[in-house]
Amino acid sequence: MPCRHLAARVIEQALKDALPGSQTPTDRQTARRFLAGSAMLNFWCEIAGLDAGEVARVAAGLTGVGVQRARPPLKAPLPREGA
């Protein structure tokens, strides 16, 4: 599914942007907020078929930034493939 691939790439880019020494300080801060359990992280993880809490925990381990409690999705979950 192309959307799943795009969603995974969005999360991957945020992980790269959040690492020390990459991008500008503003980009790092924005990426870290995104990866700390934001509503947008939940959105992209739902599309990618990933657990947002686990992505936030992994990101925290890589960046040394704390994890916020993941917020519930703003709308109903998307249907899974083959469902």
pTM of the model: 0.72
**Helix (H) or strand (E) run with residue 48 in it:** helix 39-48
Model confidence pLDDT, tens digit, residues 22-58: 778 888 999 999 999 899 999 999 999 999 999 999 9
